[in-house]
Amino acid sequence: MEFRSLLAAAGGGDQAAWDAIVNEFSTLLWSIARSFRLDARDASDVVQITWLRLVENLNRIEEPDALPAWLVVTVRRECMQLIRRANRQQLTRHVEVLDDMPDPAPPVDHALLTDERDAALWRKVAELGETCFRVLRVLMATPPPSYKDAALALDMPVGSLGPTRQRCLRRLRELLTGKEGGAER
């Protein structure tokens, strides 16, 4: 995708160019927000403020090729700030979540989970520790993010992403087969 011309067009008010950017990155931003186990309302807020920030900065982004990195870092920061604020403010709706961390799998319409194997996967992914849940949830975005962008979203060195993914998938298999291995982060 050619970000330079899209950003320039969007900066001039071209809705189609803007929508092309939105469509390209929406699931990645959503996946990052959900990787922090934010509920739908909070995830929507952090994704929306990321887009508003981009509009605000349309004519200020000096390196258009860095657009994915800019979006990914912005949404990650907003997620972390929201979690920090929520922890401080002890808002009732967050306290519920904090009380039973790790958060169980988000509620889902059971009709969508008729396949037993899918249901097991859905449950076991949610049982993963923080690092593994975040890594896999970010990499599950459609289209899959580049390792470079995923590493930025996860704030980890790009070189450790592959090995971490491998370890987390192994851990997920252990959970699925009931063979609990050693401690996992």
Q: Which of 6, 32, 38, 54 binds another protein (CB under 8 A)?
A: 54
Q: Which residues contact 185 (CB under 8 A, 6 or more apart)?
A: 129, 130, 131, 132
x-or-dash string of contact with another protein, 79-108, rule CB under 8 A: --xx-xx-xxxxxxx------------x-x
Q: How many whole angstroms separate alpha carbon 14 and alpha carbon 174?
A: 49
Give DSSP secondary structure letters for 16-56.
HHHHHHHHHHHHHHHHHHHHTT--HHHHHHHHHHHHHHHHH
**Amino acid at residue number 61:** I
Q: Does 177 bind another protein (CB under 8 A)?
A: no
Residue closest to 83 by CA, chosen among 71, 67, 101: 101
Q: Does 36 bind another protein (CB under 8 A)?
A: no
Q: Does 122 bind another protein (CB under 8 A)?
A: yes
Q: Does 166 bind another protein (CB under 8 A)?
A: yes
Question: Residue numbers of the site for another protein (CB under 8 A)?
Answer: 10-11, 13, 15, 18-19, 22-23, 26-27, 30-31, 34, 40, 43-49, 51-56, 58-59, 78, 81-82, 84-85, 87-93, 106, 108, 112-113, 118, 121-122, 125, 136-137, 139-142, 144, 165-166, 169, 172-173
